[in-house]
Each structure stands twice: as C-alpha cells, then as structure tokens.
Amino acid sequence: MPRSLGCFASSSKDFAIRALLMVDKGSGVSYLDLARGALDSLVSMVEEKSSSAGSLLSCDSNGDVVEISDGDSDYLISWHAQTQQIWVASPVSGSVRFVYDADQGLWCEQRSGRELFAFVRQEICEIFC
C-alpha cells in the first residue's frame, strides 16, 4: 500500500475516581479535561495532515483512545486515569508515557523530556510516510 503522509491498575475504584477529579494546580482544569483536550488535538492534527496529503490514513477516537492506522500499521494513544498519563503504543518506539507538566503546560515524556505533539508528529511521519 503506498504511503503518502508529509498499566498501572488501581485496587480501589475510589482511587480511580480521585485521579479523574484531581485538578492542575490553580487552573481549575482536571487532568481528564487536559488529557481529552490533548487527544482531541492529536486527532485534529493527524486528520489535517492526512487530508492535506491525500493519505489513506485513518484516525479513530472513542474519547480515551486514539487509533491511527493505514491498514498495515497501527499507532495507539490512550489516557490512563490511574497514572494521569497519556500512553503511546508505537511500532517504532514501543510504549512511551507522557505526564502533564503544569509549569510548561505540556505533556512531556519523563525520561527524555520529549513533548507529546512533537513526538507523535515525528513518529507519524516516520511510520506512515
């Protein structure tokens, strides 16, 4: 097919509910809102790049999981409430976890400091181009 595109489990329900309701200090925005906003933005970014390049790439979301596929490769991005992280499952990088950095207002990978959107953009091009 041609390519053309320029868990941590809680033992308590209570813990999961608290994780969903925790608020970014001073902003009044919950981590759930931040994560869903990030996932929605990622879907928009991929759909825009896909349509502008005439790609056969599909991007589906159910609110908590985004699946990007070209029929050959799959790329998953999901929100994990218990850890307050966004996880990326990539055929290139494996499993990569991002946490929200309130000081920067960005989702960053803890080990390398990579920013979520830049990471996904680079990987999408590497996988689907």
- The answer to the question of residue 3 being in a domain is no
- Give the residue among 93, 64, 91, 92 at the shortest CA–CA distance from 77: 64
| Structure confidence at residue 119 (pLDDT) | 93
> Domain limits at 23?
13-128
Q: What's the confidence (pLDDT) of residue 73?
A: 83
Site of tokens 């489990």 = 9
Q: What is the predicted pLDDT for the residue at 52?
A: 66
Number of structural domains (the chain) is 1
Model confidence, pTM: 0.74
The average pLDDT across 52-68 equals 81
Decide if 5 is inside a domain: no
CATH of the domain at 68: 3.30.920.10
pLDDT at 7 over 50: no
